[in-house]
């Protein structure tokens, strides 16, 4: 990766090669001090509910009075705007900086706002992705925030790596899995990614942990239990919550509402409060 891609680490006052990139990096470094906590939502596998958790974490924190930003860097499959009912929003700019879209007290940025055709595929290689992430983090006007939640695509590729390299200061990972071994096996790699960077882990969430019957409320364990707990125990990181499959969770996402808002009394919302508690205590 070139120096320009990585960002300049020179002390620009004394740097003979002072460039616009240096200026932008210095400004970014200063601006990042205005964001108290950064939480990167990771998973080894797609479809485990990572974006759902990211939206609800952002909503749960905003509902407790925190100032929250949410960045969707799932560039090939952005779903945050749909899950918040804002996919047709327009992004405005001020002083050549992008202004996030506000929704439910959350400042949101996603590649989906820039796609003229929502069904169009984003066919980008690493440098293009890196530059989009840079725009969302560095060229967006975030101002003062208590939390910036970043929803990454599954795996340990360009996007999570780019995000973790760009974000300075205090940052944590929230790792999402489902109970099955096929998900846990991939999520172990996400935990190893955190160990290598290093990126402290706020905790592991096991989503789709049992099914809540919409008629009687009984929980049936369709998959085996305990995958997330075992993962967390082995990696010596906190296990935060088991979120069941609940029809209202999927329905509220499709309707553009966080389940913490749409169905606050549900088993899922009550269980998810533990994740918000853990983040709020950072």
209 to 268, contacts with ligand ADP by CB under 6 A? Answer: 243, 245-246, 249-250, 253, 268
Q: Residue 7 or 81: which CB sits closer to ligand ADP?
A: 81
Interaction between residue 47 and ligand ADP (CB under 6 A): yes
Q: Residue 61 or 245: which CB sits closer to ligand ADP?
A: 245
Q: Residue 52 or 156: which CB sits closer to ligand ADP?
A: 52
71 to 130, contacts with ligand ADP by CB under 6 A? Answer: 79
CB of 144 to ligand ADP, least distance (A): 28
Q: Pick from 207, 240, 257, 269: which binds ligand ADP (CB under 6 A)? A: 207
Q: Residue 148 or 271: which CB sits closer to ligand ADP?
A: 271
Interaction between residue 156 and ligand ADP (CB under 6 A): no
- d(C-alpha 180, C-alpha 162), whole Å: 28
Q: Residue 7 or 78: which CB sits closer to ligand ADP?
A: 78
CB of 170 to ligand ADP, least distance (A): 24
Give the binding-site size for ligand ADP (rule: CB under 6 A).
Answer: 18
Q: Residue 32 or 183: which CB sits closer to ligand ADP?
A: 183
CB of 183 to ligand ADP, least distance (A): 10
CB of 182 to ligand ADP, least distance (A): 14
Interaction between residue 63 and ligand ADP (CB under 6 A): no
- d(C-alpha 153, C-alpha 121), whole Å: 15
- Nearest Cα to Cα of residue 200 among 25, 4, 40: 40
Q: Pick from 37, 38, 50, 171: which binds ligand ADP (CB under 6 A)? A: 50
Enumerate binding residues for ligand ADP (CB under 6 A).
43, 46-52, 79, 207-208, 243, 245-246, 249-250, 253, 268
């Amino acid at each position: 990766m070139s120096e320009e891609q990585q960002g300049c680490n020179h002390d620009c006052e004394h740097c003979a090669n002072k460039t616009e990139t240096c200026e932008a990096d210095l400004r970014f470094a200063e601006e990042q001090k205005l964001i108290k906590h950064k939480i990167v939502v990771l998973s080894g596998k797609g479809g485990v509910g990572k974006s759902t958790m990211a939206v609800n974490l952002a909503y749960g924190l905003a509902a407790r009075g925190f100032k929250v930003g949410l960045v969707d860097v799932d560039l090939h499959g952005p779903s945050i705007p749909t899950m918040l009912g804002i996919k047709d929003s327009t992004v405005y700019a001020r002083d050549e900086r992008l202004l996030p879209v506000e929704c439910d007290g959350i400042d949101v940025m996603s590649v989906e706002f820039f796609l003229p055709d929502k069904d169009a595929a984003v066919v980008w290689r690493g440098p293009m992705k890196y530059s989009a992430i840079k725009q969302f983090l560095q060229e967006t006007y975030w101002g003062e925030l208590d939390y910036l939640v970043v929803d990454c695509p599954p795996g340990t590729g360009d996007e999570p790596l780019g995000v973790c390299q760009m974000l300075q200061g205090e940052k944590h990972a929230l790792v999402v899995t489902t109970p099955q071994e096929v998900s846990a096996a991939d999520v172990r790699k996400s935990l190893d990614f955190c160990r290598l960077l290093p990126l402290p882990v706020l905790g592991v969430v096991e989503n789709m942990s049992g099914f809540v019957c919409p008629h009687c409320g009984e929980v049936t364990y369709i998959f085996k239990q305990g995958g997330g707990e075992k993962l967390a125990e082995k990696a010596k990181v906190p296990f935060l919550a088991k979120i069941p499959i609940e029809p209202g969770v999927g329905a509220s996402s499709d309707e553009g509402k966080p389940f913490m808002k749409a169905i606050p009394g549900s088993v899922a919302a009550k269980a998810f409060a533990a994740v918000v508690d853990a983040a709020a205590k950072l």
